[in-house]
Amino acid sequence: MGEFVRLEITDGIGTIRLERPPVNALNTQVQEELREAAQAAATDPSVRAVVVHGAGKHFAAGADITEFTTVTYPEMVARAGALSSAFDAVARIPKPVVAAITGYALGGGCELALACDWRVIAEDAKLGQPEIKLGIIPGAGGTQRLARLIGPAKAKDLIFSGRMVDSEEALRIGLADRVVPAAEVYETAVALVKQYTTGPALALRAAKQAIDGGLSLDLASGLALESHLFAGLFATDDRLEGTTAFVEKRKPEFSGS
C-alpha cells in the first residue's frame, strides 16, 4: 500500500505492518500511510479483525525526532491535529484490533499501541511515553488513552517521569494484556483475534462503539447509546441466525450482515 506501511490480508485478518528500519520511527509519511491502511482495514469487508505489527526487532520506537528540531510553533499547530487523527483512525477501526509488540513501543509507538483494543507484548519489550524528556508531552492520544486504560495516577507516573516499563510491570498495571516470548508475539496476536473472523461483525462493531463511545459519556447517555445500538442489531441477519441457532441448539453460522 505505502512505502513504509502495508495492509496484508490473510484468512479474514488484516495485518497493518510498519516497516521503516531500523526502529519504525513514525515520521509524517508513516503517519499518513498508517491512516490510509487503517481506513482500508475499516472499510474492507474481507477484513474481520486487525493486527498492528512492527516489522523487524521493534514495534515503533517513537516519532522521528529529527522532524521536531526544526519545526516551528505555527507549523506544529497546523500539523498536530493530523498526527492525532492518524492514530485515531486506528482506534476507530470498527473491528477487533490487537497490537503485536516486540522491542520498543515508545512515544508515538506506545500511543499507536494504545489505539488498539489489546496489546500482546514480548517478554523483553519496553513501553513508555518519554516525551517529557524532550520538553514536550504526548501529542497523539497518550495523555488521554493511557489515563483511561491504567488510571490517571499511573498515567501521570509514566508521563511525568518519561520512564520505560518492562513486560512484567506493563501486565501488572494493565498496559499489556498478554506477555509471550518475542518469537511468539505475532502468532499469539493472530490467535487472539482469529475467533472474531467468523463472529457477528455488526454486533462486534456495535459492542466496540458502545464501549469506546460510552467512555466519554455520563452513565445515562452511555446507556442510551447502548440501547440504540442494541435495538439496531435486530435489523441484522446475524441476530436472526444467532437467536434461531440458540433455539435449535446448534452452532450459529454468522454471515457478517
Whether 106 shows a pLDDT value over 80: the answer reads yes
Q: CA 216 to CA 185: how far, in whole Å?
A: 31
Whether 34 shows a pLDDT value over 80: the answer reads yes
Whether 202 shows a pLDDT value over 90: the answer reads yes
C-alpha grid cell for residue 135? 520538553
Q: CA 152 to CA 158: how far, in whole Å?
A: 10
Torsion of CA 202, 52, 20, 168, to 10 degrees: 160
Q: CA 34 to CA 27: how far, in whole Å?
A: 10
> Given 3.90.226.10, 3.40.50.1370, 3.90.79.10, 3.40.50.12780, which CATH number is that of 5-197?
3.90.226.10
Which pLDDT belongs to residue 177?
98
Q: CA 110 to CA 94: how far, in whole Å?
A: 20
Mean pLDDT, residues 126-131 taken together = 97
| CA proximity to 149, closest of 99, 82, 186 | 99
- pLDDT single digits (tens) 220-244: 999 999 999 999 999 999 999 999 9
Which pLDDT belongs to residue 75?
86
Tell me which of 3, 131, 168, 226 is the catalytic residue. Answer: 131
Mean pLDDT, residues 3-10 taken together = 96
Whole-prediction pTM: 0.94
Which pLDDT belongs to residue 70?
84
DSSP strand pairing (49-54 vs 97-101)? parallel
Whether 67 shows a pLDDT value over 80: the answer reads no
DSSP strand pairing (97-101 vs 104-106)? unpaired
Q: CA 57 to CA 227: how far, in whole Å?
A: 44
Which pLDDT belongs to residue 19?
96
The residues spanned by each domain of the chain are 5-197, 200-247
Q: Report the percentage of the chain scoring pLDDT > 70.
A: 100
Whether 212 shows a pLDDT value over 90: the answer reads yes
Residue 184 is among the residues annotated as catalytic for this protein: no
Whether 182 shows a pLDDT value over 80: the answer reads yes
Mean pLDDT, residues 48-73 taken together = 89
Q: The domain 200-247: what is its CATH number?
A: 1.10.12.10
The answer to whether the beta carbons of residues 199 and 254 sit under 8 Å apart is yes
Tell me which of 8, 36, 75, 111 is the catalytic residue. Answer: 111
Residue 226 is among the residues annotated as catalytic for this protein: no
* Cα 255 versus chain centre, distance: 25
Q: Using 50, 70 and 90 to split pLDDT, how confident is the model at 135?
A: very high
Torsion of CA 144, 148, 149, 152, to 10 degrees: 90
Which pLDDT belongs to residue 217?
96
Whether 160 shows a pLDDT value over 90: the answer reads yes
Mean pLDDT, residues 113-129 taken together = 98
Whether 64 shows a pLDDT value over 80: the answer reads no
Q: Report the percentage of the chain scoring pLDDT > 90.
A: 89
CA distances 136 to 4, 139, 141, 229, Å, are 26, 8, 13, 39
Whether 192 shows a pLDDT value over 80: the answer reads yes
Alpha helices (runs of H) in the chain, residue ranges in sequence order:
28-43, 73-91, 108-114, 142-150, 152-161, 167-173, 185-194, 201-214, 219-232, 237-247
The answer to whether the beta carbons of residues 98 and 185 sit under 8 Å apart is no
- pLDDT single digits (tens) 72-95: 888 888 888 888 899 999 999 999
